[in-house]
Structure 1
Amino acid sequence: MSFLQINELHKSFGATHILKGINLEIEEGGFLVLVGPSGCGKSTLLNTIAGLEPITSGEIRINGNQVNDLHPSKRDIAMVFQSYALYPNMTVGQNIAFGMEIRGVPKAERDKAIADVANLLQIGHLLDRKPSQLSGGQRQRVAMGRALVRDPQVFLFDEPLSNLDAKLRIDMRTEIKRLHQRMKTTIVYVTHDQIEAMTLATKIAVLKDGLLQQFGTPAEIYNDPVNMFVADFMGSPAMNLVPATIVTEGNKLAVKLDRGERQPILLPLSGGPAGLSAYNGKKVIFGIRPEALTDPDGADRNASQLATADCHIEVVEPAGSDTFAVTALGGKHVVARLRADANVKPGTTTPLAFNLTKAVFFDPESQNRIS
């Protein structure tokens, strides 16, 4: 049964329509990540769940109970902000205990809760320090500790890692995932970082301009994007989106990729979406992830559709565990992800293997996926 449900939620600020009929649900203990570019409405959606913003229409239910008109203090939620929002004049222990003290929780119970949370977050040695004496990562742990002692029904995180440096973000991301696995709490997490979304979520909601573009598991979002926006937004490097033409090669369809003055590449399709036959002789957008375009020795041997073509390499970018190579197809720069020791040099022609099992196709006008 769904633990958090959002039904046909609309939110307007005056004449500006911010959220446009959002429908989402997450099971108890799930980790829902709201992701999208700045201004897409994800923080506004989080604030409506928290009760910090009233909704214009629709319904929000937590554990089966409608909370539309409940004050934030009555919703049994806890929120972790981007800015940490710690009291500078209080110690770490006092910051964690403050909410419990306001609610009249007995001191012995408060002390036990603080000790438990401090042990969980490994901040026991920081309890007597002030926030000004802490690093960014330590402050974020304290902010999380203050939320955890509440033991709420739902945790809300509003871009909690955006103020941290790159390495600390990765460390804290791991800590949040470990914490969720141990406590099995229900979390709604806002980020614009799609790597955070992919690594943390049990379900991802991709938003753009106040509209829900796609809702599903990380694997569904990554492998089966419903439109070009989701395909381009999720993944690092992003999916290659290449203008192409569907043609007939023998008695099969094929993908034709132009290369300017060079001979076009023809990639025969032994499968593909049923709707693709309606595009025979027409333009499509050919989508393929960088890892599905690689050197032949590094290609997935279990793939049912592999096609190899000679490609002119323009740029080579060694990246430690991988090597990225850039070629030009369909008038676009296309990124291939090769093995670290792949013998490829800029200015040369080398065979690349296309894993067409992983390819997706989009209508260039609607930008929706062809199925």
Structure 2
Amino acid sequence: MTFLKITGLRKRFGALEILKGIDLELEKGGFLVLVGPSGCGKSTLLNTIAGLETITEGDIRVEERSIADLHPSKRDIAMVFQSYALYPNMTVAGNIAFGMEMRGVPAAERKQAIDKVAKVLQIGHLLERKPSQLSGGQRQRVAMGRALVRDPKLFLFDEPLSNLDAKLRVDMRTEIKRLHQTTGKTIVYVTHDQIEAMTLATKIAVMRDGEVQQFGTPAEIYNNPANLFVADFMGSPAMNLLAGTIVNEQNGLAVSLQRPGGEAMKLPVSPAMMSLTTYANRNVIFGIRPEALTDPEGADRNAQSVSENDCLIDVVEPAGSDTFAVTKLGGKEVVARLRADARIRAGETARLAFNLDKAVFFDPESQKRIA
């Protein structure tokens, strides 16, 4: 059942159009992540849902009821800000209870609500401390507690982890995921970090220049990117995107990729991609993720189409659980993700396995996916 529905949403500041016709739907209990580079309009979109920004055109509905013209206080929405926005002179308990106190909730009910939220967020031992005595992660938990205690219909998070260090961000991601699983609340979350988007979301909207480039599950966004922007933006390391040409070979279609100082590498096209017949002898962009390009021993045994080729390795980057190797194809550097114990050295030729089941193709002019 659709819980949040955004239809034809536009936002202009004078002649400048920030949001250009946004259409999104989120089910009850879903976790929608708005992701994209700085300036793409994701925070503006979140602010229109919260009521902090008016909309120019379109509608926002929660449970079939339009909230587009409602005052923020009437929307039953709680927002967690990047800056935490805690009152420095109040204790943790005071910060969490402040909104309830302003609404005249009796003291006994406030205490019960504080204790319940503190247990969920594991901050019971912090209730008498002031914000200045807390770490960044603890402050973020308090900010979440202040929102959670209201028991709203919808939670909004505006880049809540961007002020935290790398390890704490990972820990807090887990906390937010746990919060969603335990409460079942509907959440809209803004981030520029695609790892956060992939790990937290049930649905992702990838935004660019005020438009949604693709909307779908994390698996759909990652495995079936709609265009070159989504393919390049989602994934760490990013997808390898190489200039190639579709050619006819004796056994069917292949993609031809230029190699430095040598003959072209020809990789067979999966039979499932026969739509590429119309691109025979035409240029395409060939996309393959680093994990689909590996040492032969680490290749997916269930793959239907794997092609092994010798590649000159330029750089080797050990990364603990993986080893990354850089080679050159199609005039660009290509990253392969190998097993940690793969025997590979910079400056030497190594055998690499291309899992072509995972390959994708884009039109270089329209930049849209074609197979």
TM-score of Structure 1 vs Structure 2, range by shorter chain = over 0.9
Matched-pair contact (CA < 8 Å) for 2:270–2:357: no
Q: How does 1:237-256 map to 2 (within 5 A)?
A: 237-256=237-256
Report what 1:183 is aligned to: 183
Q: Compute the TM-score of the two structures, normalised by the length of structure 2.
A: 0.99
What code does the residue aligned with 2:188 have? V
Displacement of 1:272: 4.0
Aligned length: 371
Q: Distance in 2 between matches of 1:189 and 1:115?
A: 26
Q: TM-score, normalised by structure 1?
A: 0.99
SS of residue in 2 equivalent to 1:273: helix
Tell me the equivalent position of 1:363.
363
Q: In the alignment, which residue of structure 2 is the partner of 1:84?
A: 84
Structure 1's consecutive aligned runs of 4 or more residues displaced over 4 angstroms after TM superposition are none
Partner of 1:286: 286
C-alpha separation in 2, matches of 1:16 and 1:183: 39
Q: What secondary structure is seen at the aligned counterpart in 1 of 2:271? A: coil
Alignment match, 1:136: 136
Give 1:268 shift: 1.4
Q: 3-state DSSP class of the match of 2:143? A: helix
Q: Mark the CA change 1:58 to 1:267 in structure 2 (over 3 Å): closer, same or farther.
A: same
The residue aligned with 2:93 is 93
Residue 156 of structure 1 corresponds to: 156
The equivalent residue for 1:322 is: 322
Structure 1 residue 275: Cα displacement: 2.8
Please say if residues 273 and 370 of structure 1, whose CA atoms lie closer than 8 Å, have aligned partners that are also in contact. Answer: no
Q: How much has 1:107 moved relative to structure 2?
A: 0.9
3-state DSSP class of the match of 2:53?
coil
CA distance in 1: counterparts of 2:70 and 2:219, whole angstroms: 35
SS in 1 for 2:313: strand
- CA apart distance, 1:88: 0.6
What is the deviation of 1:274? 3.7
Alpha-carbon shift at residue 248 of structure 1 (Å): 0.8
2-side partners of 1:260 and 1:131: how far apart? 58
Contact 2:270–2:356 (Cα < 8 Å) also in 1: no
- Residue identity matched to 2:230: V
8 A contact 1:41–1:209 mirrored in 2? yes
CA distance in 2, matches of 1:144, 1:68: 25
Q: Find the aligned partners of 1:170 and 1:274 in 2 and give their Cα distance.
A: 42
Work out the CA distance in 2 between the residues paired with 1:339 and 1:250: 34
- Distance in 1 between the 2:297 and 2:357 partners? 17
Which secondary structure does the structure 2 equivalent of 1:311 belong to?
strand
**Deviation readout 1:321-353 (Å, 9 max, x if unpaired):** 000000000000000000000000001111100
In structure 1, distance between residues paired with 2:205 and 2:270: 33
For 1:245 and 1:103, locate their aligned partners in 2 and report how far apart those are by CA, in whole Å: 66
Deviations 1:234-272 (A, max 9, x none): 000000000011101104000111013112111112414
Q: Which residue of 2 aligns with 1:303?
A: 303
List gaps (5 residues or longer) in structure 2.
none
Query: Could you tell me which residue of structure 1 aligns to residue 219 of structure 2?
Result: 219
Distance 1:14 1:226 in 2: 31
Output one character per residue of 1:64-100: Cα deviation in whole Å (capped at 9) or x when no partner: 1100100000000000000000001111100000000
Give yes or no for the alignment of 1:61 onto 2:77: no
Task: Supply the AA of the counterpart residue of 2:160.
Answer: P
Q: Which amino acid aligns with 1:57?
A: E
> Contact 2:246–2:283 (CA<8 Å) still a contact in 1?
yes
What is the distance in 1 between the residues matched to 2:69 and 2:273?
Answer: 46
Query: For 1:234 and 1:196, how far apart are their aligned partners in 2?
Result: 11
CA deviation profile, 1:129-156 (whole Å, cap 9, x unmatched)? 1101110000000000000000000000
Q: Does 1:351 align with 2:351?
A: yes
In structure 2, give the amino acid aligned to 1:24. Answer: L
RMSD over aligned Cα atoms? 0.7
Is contact 1:252-1:270 (8 Å) kept?
A: no
**Structure 2 residue matching 1:369: 3-state secondary structure:** coil
- The question of 1:2 aligning with 2:2 is answered yes
Which residue in the other structure is 1:194 paired with?
194
- Aligned match of 1:110: 110
Residues in 2 aligned to 1:37 and 1:183: alpha-carbon distance in whole angstroms: 30
Cα deviation, residue 122, structure 1 = 0.9
Decide whether the 8 Å contact of 1:246 with 1:255 is kept in 2: yes
The residue number in structure 2 matching 1:27 is 27
In structure 1, what is the Cα distance between the partners aligned to 2:273 and 2:59? 37
Distance of 1:271 and 1:359 partners within structure 2: 12
Letter in 2 for 1:318: P
In the alignment, the residues of structure 2 paired with residue 136 and residue 76 of structure 1 have an alpha-carbon distance, to the nearest angstrom, of 27
